[in-house]
């Protein structure tokens, strides 16, 4: 039976050290999904999604979330809006979709050594409109939604904790987006909503 060499022992120890250091920092976060929710059926032949939100590169302190807010809204539209008619078109317009970080001032001194402080503020903004043209004898119209949510992360948070905070904020914001937008669509576009 061959004996392990010094080189193989060091290599094995290095791999164990990397695994021990890298493991806890990896946050496995599921993307926001509305696949289990029933569709909102509309008497339209087509619904297109148009993204007019600012590109990530132009937003200050943009978050590095695994799923962008714009992608979450596009996923919502694909899952919840169903064109079930033979004529007419609608547009789901993404007007704002951002998740930004803002550094907060923290206190120094002895107290700060023993207590985690909020060090970053995460702010989520979601604004969208469903706009439809005239369909038969039904005039066109629109329904809007605007959501803003924020939370903080502490200076002792790991990368995984920060990722989970971003994902949780996006999930909470999109749940409220779903609730409000469906209610607004059913109210303001009622003649086009099918059973």
Instruction: Encode the chain (195 residues) as per-residue pLDDT tens digits.
Output: 445 444 443 344 343 333 334 444 445 678 999 999 999 999 999 999 999 998 765 444 555 567 899 999 999 999 999 999 999 999 999 999 999 999 888 766 555 555 677 889 999 999 999 999 988 888 889 999 999 999 999 887 888 888 899 999 999 999 999 999 999 999 999 999 999
Q: How many CA atoms lie within 13 A of 179 on its CB side?
A: 7
Amino acid 55: pLDDT: 76
Rounded Cα–Cα distance for residues 149 and 171 (Å): 11
72 and 35 in contact (C-beta within 8 Å)?
no
The whole-model pTM stands at: 0.79
Amino acid 19: pLDDT: 38
Rounded Cα–Cα distance for residues 126 and 124 (Å): 7
Amino acid 108: pLDDT: 64
Amino acid 7: pLDDT: 42
Amino acid 49: pLDDT: 98
Helix locations, the chain, DSSP H = 6-22, 69-80, 110-114, 159-188
């Amino acid at each position: 039976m061959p004996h392990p060499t010094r080189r193989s022992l060091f290599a094995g120890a290095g791999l164990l050290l990397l695994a021990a250091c890298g493991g806890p920092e990896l946050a496995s976060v599921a993307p926001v999904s509305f696949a289990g929710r029933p569709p909102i059926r509309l008497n339209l032949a087509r619904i297109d999604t148009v993204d007019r939100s600012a590109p990530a590169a132009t937003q200050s302190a943009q978050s590095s979330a695994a799923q962008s807010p714009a992608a979450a809204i596009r996923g919502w539209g694909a899952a919840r809006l169903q064109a079930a008619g033979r004529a007419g078109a609608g547009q789901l317009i993404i007007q704002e979709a951002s998740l930004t970080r803002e550094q907060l001032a923290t206190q120094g001194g002895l107290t700060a050594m023993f207590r985690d402080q909020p060090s970053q503020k995460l702010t989520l903004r979601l604004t969208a409109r469903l706009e439809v043209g005239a369909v038969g004898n039904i005039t066109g119209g629109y329904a809007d939604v605007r959501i803003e949510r924020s939370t903080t992360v502490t200076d002792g948070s790991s990368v995984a904790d920060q990722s989970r905070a971003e994902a949780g904020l996006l999930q909470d914001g999109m749940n409220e987006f779903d609730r409000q937008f469906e209610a607004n669509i059913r109210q303001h576009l009622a003649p086009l909503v099918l059973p």
